[in-house]
């Protein structure tokens, strides 16, 4: 495992918490030992240019279906079709996501941009609003391009509740759920930050405990990129 460069730890993540590593580049992210010595690696980024909320509403207009049980998941080709019809800050935002996806794919990660509206998870998997550990087949690369960003919990501040079974499409999954202990301080990463997290099945350390933050009626869809 290569040694990553030391970077300043953002004020919005806990100090002196060894299971969370902070790095200054994607290259360092993949060399930081996720699944070996830590359960999540964070690459904080400066505020991204563009109107991501406006883009989210536009993408939902083009691709959303309120009657569909699954949230839309868009790929680079979908965004490339849309970006030519956009203007101004929405176009800048869309192009940034496209550029990110190209970079992620160059590192071997393939996934999609999820459009998550207030009741997206409630239809198939309300348990993701509880603190839980992932059961994805491999570590996951994540980025939330607008608020609210995924909320996380230190493992030493989590109390195990049990196993929840959820059904999405034809797939049934079981994953561990937790609750914060008294005095716990959940935290969130910044909008536009990239993080690399472990799942229970593919690591030698405990899972990264996190949950989806519920959005409210009238909020723009969350733009959440997820890849393995």
| Residue 4 within a domain | no
Residue 2: what pLDDT?
Answer: 45
**CA distances, 187 to each of 41, 116, 157, 203 (Å):** 14, 20, 12, 22
What pLDDT does 204 receive?
A: 76
Alpha-carbon gap, residue 50 to 87, rounded angstroms: 11
Q: In which region does residue 127 sit, left (phi positive, over 0), alpha (psi from -120 to 50) or beta (all else)?
A: alpha
Q: The tokens of 49 are what? A: 């240019």
Is residue 16 in a domain?
no
pLDDT of 99: 98
- Looking at the DSSP assignment, which residues form a beta bridge with residue 32? none
Structural domain range at position 190: 35-227
Sign of CA dihedral 113, 115, 49, 15: negative
Judge whether 196 lies within some domain: yes
| 15 occurs within a structural domain | no
Q: What is the pLDDT of residue 4?
A: 47
Q: Does residue 27 lie within any of the structural domains?
A: no
Do the beta carbons of residue 102 and residue 61 sit within 8 Å? no
Residue 25 included in any domain: no
Tokens of 211: 């949950």
The set of residues, in sequence order, having a beta carbon less than 8 Å from that of 152 and lying 6+ positions away, is 40, 186, 187, 188, 189, 208, 209, 210
Find out whether 104 and 190 touch, Cβ atoms under 8 Å: no
For residue 19, is it within any domain?
Answer: no
- Grouping H, G, I as helix, E, B as strand and the rest as coil, residue 200 is helix
Q: Kindly list the averaged pLDDT for each block of 10 residues, start to end, along the chain of length 228.
A: 67 95 92 88 96 97 80 94 97 98 94 83 65 83 96 96 71 83 97 91 80 86 93
Task: Say how many domains are in the chain.
Answer: 1
The verdict on residue 150 lying in a domain is yes
């Amino acid at each position: 495992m290569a040694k990553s460069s030391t970077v300043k730890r953002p004020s919005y993540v806990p100090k002196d918490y060894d299971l969370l590593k902070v790095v200054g580049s994607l290259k360092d992210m993949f060399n930081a030992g996720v699944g070996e010595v830590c359960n999540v690696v964070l690459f904080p980024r400066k505020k991204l240019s563009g109107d991501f909320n406006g883009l989210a509403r536009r993408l939902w207009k083009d691709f959303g279906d309120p009657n569909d049980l699954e949230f839309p998941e868009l790929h680079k080709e979908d965004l490339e079709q849309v970006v030519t019809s956009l203007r101004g800050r929405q176009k800048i935002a869309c192009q940034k996501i496209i550029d990110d996806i190209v970079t992620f794919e160059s590192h071997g990660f393939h996934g999609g941009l999820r459009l998550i509206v207030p009741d997206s998870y409630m239809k198939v998997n309300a348990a993701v609003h509880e603190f839980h550990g992932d059961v994805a087949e491999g570590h996951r690369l994540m980025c939330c391009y607008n608020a609210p960003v995924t909320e996380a919990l230190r493992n030493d501040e989590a109390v195990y509740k049990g196993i929840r079974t959820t059904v999405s499409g034809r797939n049934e999954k079981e994953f561990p759920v937790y609750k914060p202990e008294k005095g716990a301080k959940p935290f969130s990463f910044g909008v536009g930050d990239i993080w690399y997290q472990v799942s229970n099945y593919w690591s030698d350390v405990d899972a990264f405990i996190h949950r989806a933050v519920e959005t409210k009626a009238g909020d723009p869809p969350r733009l959440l990129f997820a890849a393995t």
